Amino acid sequence: MAVTTEQVADAMYELVAEYQGKKKFKASDLTKAMIEKFGEAEVDKKLCKAAIRTLMDSGRCIYTYWGGSFIELPPKEGSEGGG
């Protein structure tokens, strides 16, 4: 069964959400994690790149820059502890 871009995007989102505030992921980190999860026969770099684009275009994730580009969840409006 072929893995869809949306399935990979959902898996990436879950991974980023799970580690939010604990670990920052580069695009290459997410690509490696998805190849491990689904297997090389099902997922390649091109599919992962498309999944990352899906996450960015939908606003579910954003790029941040801290000495390198990282993929994170966007900040919540009126986040906790905000005065």
Return the residue matching tokens 């980023």.
16
Which amino acid, 24?
Answer: K
Q: Tens digit of pLDDT per residue, the chain (83 long)? A: 689 999 999 999 999 999 999 999 999 999 999 999 999 999 999 999 999 999 999 999 999 998 999 999 998 875 554 43
pLDDT at residue 15 in the model: 97
Provide the pLDDT for residue 1: 62
In this prediction, residue 2 carries a pLDDT of 84
pLDDT, one tens digit per residue, over 58-69 is 999 999 998 999
Residue 13 near residue 55, CB atoms below 8 Å: yes
Architecture of domain 5-72: Orthogonal Bundle (1.10)
Q: Which residues pair with 65 in a beta bridge?
A: 69
What pLDDT, on the 0 to 100 scale, is given for residue 78?
A: 59
* 9, 48, 57, 80, 83 from 53: Cα distances, Å: 9, 9, 6, 28, 34
**Domain positions in the chain:** 5-72
Around 33, how many Cα atoms within 13 Å sit in the side-chain half-sphere? 17
